[in-house]
Chains A and B, each alone.
Chain A
Amino acid sequence: MSPPPDHAQRSELFLLDHERTTWHDETLWFVRQKRDRAAYATPEFQELRRLASDLKDHTLSRLAQYLEQFEAAALANGVHVHWAADAAEHNALVLGIVQRAGARRVVKSKSMLTEECHLNPHLLAHGVEVIDSDLGERIIQLRAEPPSHVVLPAIHLKKEDVGETFWQHLGTEKGLTDPQQLTEAARQHLREKFLAAEVAISGVNFAVAETGSVVVCTNEGNADLAIGLARVHIACMGLEKLVPRLADLAVFTRLLTRSATGQPITTYTSHFTRPQPGREMHVVIVDNGRSQQLGRPDFRASLKCIRCGACMNTCPVYRRSGGHSYDFTIPGPIGAILSPNIDMRKHASLPFASTLCGSCTDVCPVRIDIHSQLYKWRQVLGAAGLVPASKQYGMRLLSRVLARPALFRLGGAAARLGLRLVPHALSHAPGYNPWAIARELPAPPRQSFRQWYAHQSPPAHE
């Protein structure tokens, strides 16, 4: 069954479970508060945000040069570098590397890029076992669900859901809900997979042009364990992941986890530069719409994103609609400005899934003007005829009224009169007036302000 066509309808599904929505909202708000405490405790936090933003702006302005520099450095390190224009090419390249290595078993640490490219189904279809090793990713992989958050992929689930899943797939005791015991069960299950894997796939948090290194940040150590054991390491990165110099990582590592979870740094901040002798390291650089987004002046800043998830944790809409309501690999405010670049028609409702409160912009560690871009995407969608026709027609009509004071006076009076005369059951009918699902309309006053003002003495202006 395909999901409902727009964000509002998908949100309604999430909201049906009132208690779970409360839990989801409060849990993510707690993460936002941890982020606040970490930010307040770092005196130069706002300066670091400006630096990170500038570093990314600089890198994007010379991206081709930095990509070439990165490639040259990586090649000199004995790393194989591959380029994929789109998801299909990325998947074919990865499969090719796996097959050339004669491998059948792959473990993969967290990578939103491989989610975006739907790598897993491609590998599975070609007889390659691929196991997601991040605990959250493994949980949703067993449940055949997409992640609902970039940092906390299983945040839409309760421990009871995880217990049920592990009972079905890992043979844990039925009814087990203790996170400690569930995590231990996953540890035992995944150790076997780590030891058996011939290929380790990882994402990339940062790629350093100066040294050809890729940096992977995890708390679990799953990337390091897998890569340390496997014969072949494939790191998959979007082409926007570059930073110019190794030292620039100081700015980004100081911001990433403080923004994401409130930790001062991830447990493992791992720098992969050269393969161990006798082993292979590959980097796959992926475009998949990124160069197109780079060419949109109003929206290119979205490529500065370092996937910390802070905009999700702070977004009052995301917290109450859940990540799946966005129906896009990257949910939340940042997803709502990335997704129309990929498919404007399919994701037309996402830039409207916001009150434009601006909190996302203020927590963003690289200062992406997220809420301004949401506003601008609305205009692009409007111009492309991709907002509902009823809304467009209504807005044109409203504009004609509001540009003509006489019409406005008449319309306002009619609305107030109508509200007074029409029975409550009709003016508040939920099928016709979505406002009324939870709210009363204002009690209509007898007089507008302008009517009151006209009767004041001394006589009003004009």
Chain B
Amino acid sequence: MKVALFVPCYVDQFYPQVAVAALQLLAKLGVRAEFPPRQTCCGQPMANSGCEQAAQPVYRHFVDVFQDYDYVVGPAGSCVYHVRRHFDTLDQTPAVVRVRRNTVELFDFITRVLGVDQIAGRFPYQVGLHLSCHGQRGLHLATASELTPVRDGQLRRLLSGLDGLTLTELDRNDECCGFGGTFCVSEAAISARMGQDRVADHLRHGTQVLTGGDMSCLLHLEGIVRRRKLPLRVLHAAEILNGTLP
């Protein structure tokens, strides 16, 4: 099985430790993932802004870089969703079809492809799980409150398997954090207010470590936590599952 690690552009530049954790976590599970260094970005920032046409060269570059892999694994539901869903604007060549099908979110890969639903480890903290909307409602990696009262999801299960970890019960289990790609600057005031409300929900219910599967949501929430100097650590779930302690 030939596996590529897809590292979103902003993770590569600003959160290298998340990609390191993803790589090491996969290695622990017996998967030696490669990082094709020519990779850049999935093109979502442009398409999200109404410039899908301008994003086409980026899409083609992505397909070119990853077409020879059995799986393209990314620690970011939103970017994975973009590739799977919105690369429909490319000519559907066999390479495009393959890359769209094989691009998989990290915890979906661990759970569904590797069949792993328990990772040994200890994390004696109260953890607040932030579900990324594209992972949850887009890729269906977790149940959604719009559809069912049942709370379940791959990441929720993996985290629950760690010793000492308790999950926070929130007032709003799956409300959007307000990042929204370029929304975070084009509608900065609303975006900030949404993020502040999300962080407050976690604080109100005792979250010590805020985590999730999508660094883009966490980048936004961490920015709020740091601005307000709040008593919360923000870690990507790959870091927690890889044994990083706050």
Residues of A near any B CB (own CB < 8 A): 7-8, 11-12, 15, 21, 25, 29, 36, 39-40, 46, 314, 316-317, 320-321, 351-359, 361-363, 375, 378-383, 387, 391-392, 395-396, 398-405, 408, 412, 415-416, 434-435, 437-442, 444-445, 447-454, 460-462
Q: Which 8 A-B pairs have the closest CB atoms?
A: A439-B223, A355-B180, A382-B50, A438-B192, A362-B146, A434-B188, A378-B50, A357-B176
With A352-B187, A359-B176, A438-B195 given, is the CB distance from A395 to B49 under 8 Å?
Answer: yes
CA separation between A382 and B46, bound complex, in Å?
10
With A402-B43, A453-B35 given, is the CB distance from A352 to B178 under 8 Å?
Answer: no
- A-B contact count, CB below 8 Å? 229
Residues of B near any A CB (own CB < 8 A): 7, 9, 11-17, 19-20, 23, 34-41, 43, 45-55, 57-58, 60-61, 86, 133-134, 137-138, 144-149, 172, 175-176, 178-197, 219-220, 222-224, 226-227
Residue among B13, B19, B189, B222 making CB contact with A437, cutoff 8 Å? B189
> Would A382 and B51 count as touching, CB distance under 8 A?
yes
Q: How far is the CB of A32 from chain B (nearest CB, A)?
A: 9
Q: How far is the CB of A306 from chain B (nearest CB, A)?
A: 17
> Would A412 and B12 count as touching, CB distance under 8 A?
yes
> Would A415 and B57 count as touching, CB distance under 8 A?
no
Majority DSSP secondary structure for residues of A touching B: helix
Q: How far is the CB of A312 from chain B (nearest CB, A)?
A: 14
With A412-B12, A453-B35 given, is the CB distance from A383 to B186 under 8 Å?
Answer: no
> Would A8 and B176 count as touching, CB distance under 8 A?
no
Please indicate which of the listed interface residues B12, B39, B186, B187 has the most CB atoms of chain A within 10 Å of its own CB: B187
Between A and B, 20 residue pairs with Cβ closer than 8 Å are A8-B188, A8-B190, A11-B187, A21-B193, A46-B147, A316-B176, A320-B194, A354-B180, A375-B48, A392-B50, A392-B54, A402-B43, A402-B61, A405-B38, A434-B188, A439-B220, A439-B226, A442-B223, A453-B23, A460-B37
Q: How far is the CB of B17 from chain A (nearest CB, A)?
A: 8
Q: How far is the CB of B104 from chain A (nearest CB, A)?
A: 19
Q: How far is the CB of B43 from chain A (nearest CB, A)?
A: 7
> Would A8 and B189 count as touching, CB distance under 8 A?
yes
CA separation between A361 and B222, bound complex, in Å?
28
Residues of B within 8 A of A395 (CB): 45-46, 49, 51, 54-55
Residue among B12, B137, B148, B185 making CB contact with A450, cutoff 8 Å? B12
> Would B40 and A402 count as touching, CB distance under 8 A?
yes
CA separation between A286 and B230, bound complex, in Å?
54
Given A412-B9, A439-B224, A445-B16, list of 8 further CB < 8 A pairs? A357-B137, A359-B133, A396-B51, A438-B192, A440-B223, A440-B227, A442-B223, A460-B35
With A395-B45, A399-B43, A402-B58 given, is the CB distance from A355 to B37 under 8 Å?
Answer: no
Residues of B within 8 A of A12 (CB): 189
CA separation between A391 and B36, bound complex, in Å?
30
> Would A317 and B14 count as touching, CB distance under 8 A?
no
Residues of B within 8 A of A435 (CB): 184-185, 188, 223
With A15-B193, A434-B185 given, is the CB distance from A416 to B14 under 8 Å?
Answer: yes
Q: How far is the CB of A373 from chain B (nearest CB, A)?
A: 13
Please indicate which of the listed interface residues A7, A399, A441, A449 has the most CB atoms of chain B within 10 Å of its own CB: A449
Q: How far is the CB of A325 from chain B (nearest CB, A)?
A: 9
Residues of A within 8 A of B57 (CB): 399-400, 403
CA separation between A89 and B185, bound complex, in Å?
42
CA separation between A187 and B40, bound complex, in Å?
64
CA separation between A314 and B147, bound complex, in Å?
13
Please indicate which of the listed interface residues B53, B55, B180, B190 has the most CB atoms of chain A within 10 Å of its own CB: B190
CA separation between A412 and B9, bound complex, in Å?
9
CA separation between A351 and B189, bound complex, in Å?
17
Residues of B within 8 A of A400 (CB): 57
> Would A399 and B183 count as touching, CB distance under 8 A?
no
> Would A438 and B227 count as touching, CB distance under 8 A?
yes
> Would B46 and A357 count as touching, CB distance under 8 A?
no
Residues of A within 8 A of B186 (CB): 8, 352, 391, 434
> Would A352 and B50 count as touching, CB distance under 8 A?
yes
